[in-house]
Structure 1
Amino acid sequence: MTTTFRAHSAADLLSAIPTMAGYTPRDSIVILPFAGSSSVGLFRFDLPHIGPQQFAASALGIVCRLEEATGMIVVLYADSVDATPNSNPFAPVTEALRLTADACGIEVGDVITVARNGWFSEVDNVVHSHREIGDPPDVGAPKPKASQSSGTRLPRIDADRMRTIRAQVTALEREHGSESPREIVERLGDVHAIFEAAVEAQRGTVEDDAVLLWLVARPSLRDVAMSQWCHGISAGAKTLEFQLDWLDGSPNPPEDLFLMGEGPAPDPDRLRAALRRVRQLAASASGRDRAAPLACAAWLSWALGMSTHAASYAQKALRAQPRHGLAQIVASICANGHLPLWAFPAENRRST
C-alpha cells in the first residue's frame, strides 16, 4: 500500500522525511525525485568526500534512471556544522546538483539545508529553528530509527550456544574442509532444504546454524543460498547447476547477474528473513568465520535498498577477513553509489 504525505511547507516535508526513509538522516544528502507533484522515491547519500561535480554526476545518474522524474528537492543534513544562506560550506555541492539536474532536464524545486544552528530553504533564505520541524506524521508505520546507521549491531547470542556452534563449525572444517562443492552437495543430500529453513524459521537449531555457517563460507554454495533466498528453490537449483558446471569447466552463463542487481526483483520478505538469520550466524561466529555471514548481510541489505547498512556490514566483514571477495564487491558498489536495478519501479525505470 502506498502512503501519501501532504507537505504544504518545507517544515512539513522535513517532518515527513524520517517516516518516508524509515530513519532520521544524519550528515547526509537526501534527494526526493518528483513526477509532477508526486514523489517517486527517496535517495540518501553520505555527505560527499569527492568533488562537487563528481558527486552531482553520480547522484543525478541515479535519479535519471527514473524515467518519470521531472523535478527533485534536495535536503542536506549537516549535524555538526553551522550554516546560513550567506555562509553555507555546502553551497558548491548544492550548486553542482542544481546545474547537473538542469542539464538533465530535471527542475530543482528547492534546496533545504538542515544544519546545527537551524535550517533554511532557498525559497525564503531565512534560518528557522529546529523546533519548527514537527514530529514525523503518524501513518501507522514503524517509528523511524535514530539514524541511517541504526540497526547494524549484531544480536546477542547465548554464550553456550555460541561455543557449541563454533565447535561444530571447527569439526565440520576438520572433517570435510577438503571436499569439493559437488561432494558436499552429494553428502548433505538436499542443500536447498537447509537454505530454505533459513528463511522459514525465526531461529535454527545449533546444528542448523553450524552447517549453514560452514556452507556460506564456500562462495559457490553461498551464491546458491543467496539466489534461493532471493527467488526461491527453483532459482537456487538453477544456480547450483551453473556453479557445479562452472567448477567442472563447462559453464552455462546465467541470464542475469543477480549479485550485481540485475534481473527481477527479489521477494523482500525472504531477503529480510535471510538477513535476520545471517546476522544471527555472524553473532555466533568468531574471527575469520564472521566474514562470510557478514558479507551475506551486506549484500542482502544492499538488495533491500539499505546501502548504509550494507557498507557497514561489508567493512566489518573485511576487518574479519581483509580480502573477502563478496565483501569487497559490496563495499565497492556502495562506495560508487550503485543501486540494484530492482530499486527502481519498473514503470518509472529508464533503460540504460
Structure 2
Amino acid sequence: MRTIITADSSAELLALIPHLAGYVPRESVVAIPFRAGRSLAMLRVDRVAHDVDAFAATTIGTVCRVPDVDAVVLAVYADGELEQSGAREVLDALRIRADACGLFVIDALAIAENGWASYRDERTPSPRSLEEISRLAPAGLVTPAGDQAGGSTLVRAPKERRRRVSEALAETERAADVLRSQTCPGADRAGDLNAQGARILMELTDVATAWETALEFESLDDDILTDERAALLLWCLARPSVRDVALAHWCHGAGAAHQVLEAQLEWEESGDYPAGPLFLAGEGPRPDQARLHQALHLLRGLAALASGRFRGAALASAAWTAWALGWGTHAGVYARAALSVDPGQRLAEIIDELSSRGHLPGWAFTPVEP
C-alpha cells in the first residue's frame, strides 16, 4: 500500500526526504518526480563537480523515464557552507534541462552545513536555519543517522568458520564430480565422498530447495546457513550460468528460475538466446522486493564466510541485487569489493560501471500499484 505524506513548505519537504530515502543524502542531488500533484518516487545521484551540464542532462533524462511525470522537486545536498557549495550552478543547469523537457520545477532547494535555501524565487537567497527543518520532522519518526552508504560495511566471519566452509567447498567439488559421473555408464564414484560430501550431494540434486530455504537466513549463528549449505550456494554463485538461475529464483521464484535455465540450455544448444526481457539487464517485471532484500542479506552473509573467487562471486551477486533494488551506492561498494579479491569478476565489472553512471534497472520506472 502507498503511504500519502503531505508537505506544505520547502522546509517540511526537506524534513521528509531522509524518511522517504531511509538515509540522509550527502554530496547528492535528489529529484522527486510528480504527476498531477502526487510524488511518484525519489531519485538520488552523486553530485559531480565537473561537466555540470552533462550531469544535469543525464539526471533530468532519468526523471523523464518516469511514466507521466509532469513536475519535479530538485534538492542539492552539499558539504561545507552553502555560499561556496556550487549548489546554485547545479540547480540552474537542472532547471534549464527540466524546462527543455517540459517539466515544471516545483522547488529548487539546497542544504549545506550552515543552512538551507530555496532558489525557486531568488538566485542568491540567504541561508536559513537548519533548526527550521528539524522542527518540521514527522512526529514519531526518528531521522536516519547514516548517509546513502550506510549499512554497506562488510564483515568477515571468524577464521575457523571460514576454514570449515572452505573444506566444505572442496567436498562440494567432489560431490559435483560424483553427480556428473552418474551420467556416465560404469562411472560410480559415490564412494569417494565422506559423510559431509554425501549430504552436499543430496542438496545438489535439489538445489532449488536449498536456494529457497536459504532465504530464511537471519544471522551467521542460526541453523539456516550451515557450512555445507554455504559451500553449496557459494559453489553455485561462482558458476555464472548457475548463478543467473539462482538470482532469477531469488527475484521471482522457482518458475522464473526454470525459464532462465531453459533459455540457457537453448543458447548452449543453438547459439541463440531466446527473445524476451533479460532480467540481469534490469528488463522485465519488477522483482519481489521482499525476496530481494532477504537475498541481499543472505549474499552478504555468504561473502563473510568466503575467500578469494568465492567471496568475489558472492559480492558480485550482492552488487547486482543491490542494483536491482535501486541502491546504486551499495551496488558500487560491493562491486569494487568483489573486484579487489577477484579482478576478473565480470558481473562485478558490469555493476560497477552501471552504478558509477547512475544507470537504473528498467523496472525502477514501473509504476507501483497503490
The TM-score normalised by the length of structure 2 is 0.85
- How many Å apart are 1:249 and its aligned residue? 4.2
Whole-angstrom CA distance in 2 between matches of 1:88 and 1:341: 32
Q: Provide the secondary structure at the position in 1 that maps to 2:276.
A: coil
- How many Å apart are 1:144 and its aligned residue? 2.6
Describe the superposition over 1:48-87 as per-residue Cα deviations: whole angstroms up to 9, x where unpaired: 15411111111111110123221111111112x2223xx5
Whole-angstrom CA distance in 2 between matches of 1:322 and 1:156: 20
1:315 aligns with 2:336: yes
Q: 1:304 to 1:177 in 2, by over 3 A?
A: farther
Whole-angstrom CA distance in 1 between matches of 2:138 and 2:51: 36
Q: Provide the secondary structure at the position in 2 that maps to 1:6.
A: coil
Whole-angstrom CA distance in 2 between matches of 1:256 and 1:318: 27
Find 1:112's aligned residue among 109, 121, 141.
Answer: 109
Q: Is the Cα–Cα contact under 8 Å of residues 198 and 273 in structure 1 kept in the other structure? A: no
Q: Provide the secondary structure at the position in 2 that maps to 1:32.
A: strand
- How many Å apart are 1:19 and its aligned residue? 0.3
Whole-angstrom CA distance in 2 between matches of 1:252 and 1:89: 48
1:196 aligns with 2:212: yes
1:89 is matched with 86
Q: 1:177 to 1:19 in 2, by over 3 A?
A: farther
Whole-angstrom CA distance in 2 between matches of 1:334 and 1:179: 38
Describe the superposition over 1:232-257 as per-residue Cα deviations: whole angstroms up to 9, x where unpaired: 10111111122233234444415111
- How many Å apart are 1:297 and its aligned residue? 0.6
- How many Å apart are 1:312 and its aligned residue? 1.0
Q: Provide the secondary structure at the position in 2 that maps to 1:332.
A: helix
The count of residues paired between Structure 1 and Structure 2 equals: 343
Equivalent residues in 2 for 1:102-251, closer than 5 Å: 102-122=99-119, 123=121, 125-134=125-134, 136-138=137-139, 144-155=144-155, 157-173=157-173, 176=176, 188-202=204-218, 203-251=224-272
Describe the superposition over 1:13-43 as per-residue Cα deviations: whole angstroms up to 9, x where unpaired: 1111000011110111101111232211110
Runs of 4+ in 1 over 6 A off after TM superposition: 177-180, 182-187
Equivalent residues in 2 for 1:14-53, closer than 5 Å: 14-53=14-53
Partner amino acid for 2:295? A
The TM-score normalised by the length of structure 1 is 0.89
The higher relative CO (CA closer than 8 Å, separation ≥ 6) is in: 1
Partner amino acid for 2:214? A
Q: CA RMSD in A?
A: 2.7
- Identical positions, percent: 41
Whole-angstrom CA distance in 1 between matches of 2:106 and 2:368: 23
Gaps of 5+ in 2: 184-199, 219-223
Partner amino acid for 2:293? R
Q: Is the Cα–Cα contact under 8 Å of residues 242 and 251 in structure 1 kept in the other structure? A: no
1:303 is matched with 324
Partner amino acid for 2:150? S
Whole-angstrom CA distance in 2 between matches of 1:145 and 1:221: 38
Structure possessing the higher radius of gyration over alpha carbons: 2
Report the more deviating stretch, 46-55 or 311-320.
Answer: 46-55
Q: 1:116 to 1:187 in 2, by over 3 A?
A: closer
Q: Provide the secondary structure at the position in 2 that maps to 1:295.
A: helix
1:61 is matched with 61
Gaps of 5+ in 1: none
